[in-house]
Structure 1
């Protein structure tokens, strides 16, 4: 067994995959083609349910199962109004892992998921919440830093890892956000992570259904191009979104300003304003991913986008990550050479 296998054994045992490399669930991107390709290549694919109806999720899971016999998961958003129905669809298909994102699990969700035999994963943005989720019965955690793409929290991956990994050992923890090289995978495994989660590199994979324009934008971008949105008004709590800066980014600022104006005049309730903000993101992301409108759509990307230098097949990406991680671990654990005697030249008389 290699050192990489040894360090990631807890993660691979939990996921049932060859490598402890999860794929982030990206709306419009993480569907049957990409998910099955990742699982077939030894990683762990995750379907992004997002705003799907139970019927759509039913179709997507069945289609994914037709393309792979390897394990994969389903990511559900905690605020989805048909959460119980979505959980039941996962149970119907025997989905092995359910990932809950977007907030604390709603009442009864944990018990409902686990009673169906699935393993439950949740995102933990802070140590206190990580401990609370473990006490609630969650089987594994994902800690995702602000370097990630899409909706993000305020704390960096490296800080979250230092805060949480040494203090939560009861369940496997997968580290996410800003990971684009195998060297980072090796480092987090040595810190105590069970595995990692990547999204941005897989979004630009050959098997991703994202538009060619979308992938080209990733290849051209540098890390500093992936910027977080700004909240304009404290009354309208908007979770920051990291995406490549474009006209669409400015349009979102204008959308926030419009909603704040409606709140001021009483034209809309706060909850309705927040819902319209989320609908904006869903539509903007679709315009970029599916339609290829990279000027007006949302190019959600993590800061690791600077490490996307070409469109590669999933198997090649995973092989590259594994090779880099193995080389990094090997270089840090080579035996030291014995010290050589120091010869000092002396002047002859």
Structure 2
């Protein structure tokens, strides 16, 4: 993990996935204080809200942490300015290719850029464009996902790019043995989200945590696309009535496209409607505890979340399992 630790400035190269409403000041600070690398999920926050969230996180930890920004956010450049004012050291860009000028804007602040690469061709393009590190995330992850599994992406991409930039592997990781395996393949570290949802420091509603503790891997299913015109990225979540509501929402947005031109602006607006839906549905579940109609975004590693425990114990357990696995291989 030496390369990942040096890049992040943390004690261990375990990043926390940016989970809207969950990866806020309390969990982010707790992860950084425990030696990991917390990441604030900006999501649909306004610049003013992000400004307050970064400041509040800084009051809870003096360790490094990052901020995850969505590339399609209409105020992306203003959010970058907010991060710059606070001296944020690492910005994670998610949700698609970084828009023109965004990488340069981040680099100008002195921050390091971490981007998601769901395919080898895109990874090479991002490296060429100047990103400092990559996250390769497989379909086992919670929230927005791609079509390829973590193990396949790691096998295909790590041998090609791990010597160029630090690469963090994500998706379906619930134990330290898996971390050891990806480090052995050339990863600089890992990113976990689902594993931290039921941390003691997580503000997720008790109902939300209970749903995770009851769930098995097969309960975390991906949404389906009902209209090929809609640029909908599949989302993995625990199946409930909210899953059916999303299908209905897609039909509603598709109906509006029937009356509009399908130019780039209309398609972007349709995509933003979908994203706003997820932000609201996730809030209903995480904050309000409506686990029936809200969104229970979870990765397939949810079956390995068996109890509520402090972040420090989660990280300690993961590292002990990883060390033991590597020791066995060395022996």
Q: Give the alignment's TM-score, normalised by structure 1.
A: 0.92
Q: For 2:316 and 2:20, how far apart are their aligned partners in 1?
A: 25
**Equivalent position of 2:127 in the other structure:** 134
CA offsets 1:141-174 (integer angstroms, 9 cap, x no match): 0000000000101111001101110001210000
**Gap regions ≥5 residues in structure 1:** 1-7, 335-349
Aligned to 2:222: 228
Aligned to 2:272: 275
Q: What's the offset of the Cα at 1:267?
A: 9.6
Aligned positions, number: 327
Q: CA deviation at 1:236?
A: 1.3
Say whether the 8 Å CA contact 2:231–2:267 is kept in structure 1. Answer: no
1:114 lines up with 2:114 in the alignment: no
| Between 253-262 and 127-136, the greater mean CA deviation after superposition | 253-262
Runs ≥4 in structure 1, deviation > 6 angstroms?
none
1:316-327 maps to which residues of 2 (within 5 A)?
316-327=313-324
**1:303 correspondence with 2:300:** yes
Instruction: Give the distance between the partners of 2:261 and 2:204, measured in 1 at CA.
Output: 37
CA shift digits 1:285-304 (9 cap, x unpaired): 00000000000000000000
- Which residue of 2 is the match for residue 18 of structure 1? 11
Structure number with bigger Rg: 1
The aligned residue for residue 293 of structure 1 is 290
Gaps of 5+ in 2: none
Distance 1:233 1:81 in 2: 24
Give 1:141-180 correspondences, 5 Å limit.
Answer: 141-168=134-161, 169-180=163-174
Q: Counterpart in 2 of 1:342?
A: none
Q: In 1, distance between residues paired with 2:248 and 2:116?
A: 30
2:64 to 66, 71, 80: 71
The change in CA–CA distance for 1:56 and 1:131 in structure 2 (over 3 A counts) is: same
Deviations 1:228-255, CA, capped at 9 Å, x for gaps: 0000111112100000000000111111
1:100 corresponds in structure 2 to 93
In the TM superposition, residue 31 of structure 1 has moved relative to its aligned partner by 0.6
Q: Could you state the TM-score of these two structures normalised by the residue count of structure 2?
A: 0.97
Equivalent pair of 2:19/2:193 in contact (CA under 8 Å) = yes
Deviates more, 1:52-61 or 1:254-263: 254-263
3-state DSSP of counterpart to 2:296:
coil
